[in-house]
Copies of this chain bind each other. A is one copy, B any other.
Amino acid sequence: MKDQSTEENILQAAVSVFQKKGMSGARMQEIADEAKINKAMLHYYYKSKQKLFEAVFRKAFEKFAPHINQVFNSDKTVFEKITEFTESYISFVMENPYLPNFLIQEINNNPEFASLFFGSEIAPNPLRFKKQIAEEIKKGIIKPIDPRQLLLNLFSLTAFSFVGTGLVRGILDLDEKHSKL
């Protein structure tokens, strides 16, 4: 009687719950309910809450990484990369509104755990990007800037408007109840 993937079903429900409530806020029962299965199944497929969380985190990380790799490893110019990143990132977040916040949050809450991922294969490698920046500066294509600073700005201006949505909305919507930034 196996709906061809209960396991995938569970993971999907776990993604939904974990990304909204975080590791400590999520409840195994709620995940089970969302997946419409018995709570015991969670432990049958994923040994523990921690393991299930890991699966969710890994999935999120793997979904997010390509957008950074696009910047780090493509053959475009820095300028093109910036344009492409913002565009793809924004449409990405529209489809996964909780994902960036989830990543940021859990990385902050659990740095040692997160560092396992940053040290792994799937983590983007910034080396090439840094060289490119240096080259383009030398050639006078872009103004001198620390690559770290550039990346930080790029991230800030794209990511924060989503991460900080609630705050910004709270402040700005006071006399504009309907604005959609």
Contact = CB atoms under 8 A, between A and B. Distances in A.
Interface of A: 21-25, 68, 101, 103-105, 107-109, 111, 114-115, 117-119, 123-127, 148-149, 151-153, 155-157, 159-161, 163-168, 170-176, 179, 181
Q: How many copies does the complex hold?
A: 2
Given A24-B24, A152-B181, A160-B155, A174 B123 contact: yes
A89 to B, nearest CB: 13
Given A21-B109, A181-B148, A164 B171 contact: no
10 contacts: A108-B165, A118-B171, A124-B171, A125-B174, A126-B172, A148-B176, A152-B181, A156-B156, A156-B160, A159-B164
A60 B118 CA distance: 32
Given A21-B24, A160-B160, A163-B163, A171 B123 contact: yes
